[in-house]
Amino acid sequence: MRVATVSDLHTDFAENREAVVKLAVAIHEGQADVVIVAGDVSHKDERIDRALRAFAEVAETVAYIPGNHDLWYDVPLAASRSDLDTWHRYRVELKTVCEGAGAHYLPAAPLIVGATAIVGSCGWYDYSLMAPAFRAQIDDRALAQKTLDGLMWSDARFIAFRDEQGHLMPDPAVARQMEAEFAAQLAEVESNAEVGEVVAVTHHQPFYDVVARTGKLPWEYFCAFMGSTGLGEAIRGCGKVRTAVYGHTHVVGRYELHGLTAYGTPLGYPRERRGLPEEQLTVTRIGWIEVS
């Protein structure tokens, strides 16, 4: 079975909507059975719907996990709106959008095809992927506010995860919840005798070593919001995982570590791939996995 993976399609850009068509054509030519969309399509439901349908045209099965952009509420300040809870968007609204497009919603349940299980979570960040030298310079309050020298990580405006009492949850608590649900799904497929191999998919990055570093601010500050090491621990707790796919970063990468292959093939923003030869687009922005 052939699995194709894409992420960070950001189809609010017209250029990316054209690129998605090219990715879909290449996936068709590559004869994928399953397409995994690892988050960050758009905060607009109709754009998520369209992208998932584009891939459903070229493969039997499409599996999706939301990214942080998909989770955004398009309001001035989500935290000030007690009627909005990002968990509701994650568990209900995006599941409805995904299933309406005929795709499998990974946060709700693993996808099992043949002897392979695909397990996914958006994941979240707890600042653990920041390099220690920079982490030591910046206090927790500054990280919680997600701003540095006038630059803001936009989740600060559009995300509002709430606990059962309706209180806003700190990022590490959100990360722990995501990791726990992911680990539970991984344990489920680990104990399923019919599953021989697992593909783990997270939007946020799961390992310290897959994070691109510049050694300079503000880049190193924003590494705080790349993911959590707990996602990687969940993956390493499942011996059947051979491949870990991530999104979120817009830096293409491939790593062999912890006995598995971890990679990301983000489309990213148009300005980030200026100068990329046209024929390299589909070569570098689609990942392929051969599974049994």
Contact set for Fe ion, span 22-41 (CB under 5 A): 40
Contact set for Fe ion, span 48-77 (CB under 5 A): 67-68
When the beta carbons of 55 and 225 are compared against Fe ion, the nearer one is 225
When the beta carbons of 67 and 230 are compared against Fe ion, the nearer one is 67
When the beta carbons of 236 and 248 are compared against Fe ion, the nearer one is 248
- From residue 24, give the alpha-carbon distance in Å to each of 18, 50, 53, 84: 10, 12, 10, 34
Q: Tell me how far, at minimum, the Cβ of 130 lies from Fe ion, in Å.
A: 16
The answer to whether 134 touches 117, Cβ cutoff 8 Å, is: no
When the beta carbons of 68 and 185 are compared against Fe ion, the nearer one is 68
The answer to whether 102 touches 62, Cβ cutoff 8 Å, is: yes
When the beta carbons of 160 and 291 are compared against Fe ion, the nearer one is 160
How far, in Å, CA of 19 to CA of 22, rounded?
5
Residue 21: CA atoms inside 13 Å, Cβ hemisphere, count?
A: 4
The answer to whether 51 touches 57, Cβ cutoff 8 Å, is: no
Residue among 10, 61, 1 nearest 39 (CA): 10
Kindly report whether the peptide bond that precedes residue 277 is cis, defined as omega within 30 degrees of 0. no
Q: Is 146 one of the binding residues for Fe ion (CB under 5 A)?
A: no
Q: Tell me how far, at minimum, the Cβ of 235 lies from Fe ion, in Å.
A: 18
Q: Determine the length of the chain.
A: 292
Q: Tell me how far, at minimum, the Cβ of 122 lies from Fe ion, in Å.
A: 9
Q: Tell me how far, at minimum, the Cβ of 10 lies from Fe ion, in Å.
A: 9
Q: Is 248 one of the binding residues for Fe ion (CB under 5 A)?
A: yes
Q: Tell me how far, at minimum, the Cβ of 67 lies from Fe ion, in Å.
A: 4
When the beta carbons of 67 and 232 are compared against Fe ion, the nearer one is 67
Name the 3-class secondary structure at 114.
Answer: coil
Q: Is 206 one of the binding residues for Fe ion (CB under 5 A)?
A: no
Site of interaction with Fe ion (CB under 5 A): 40, 67-68, 248
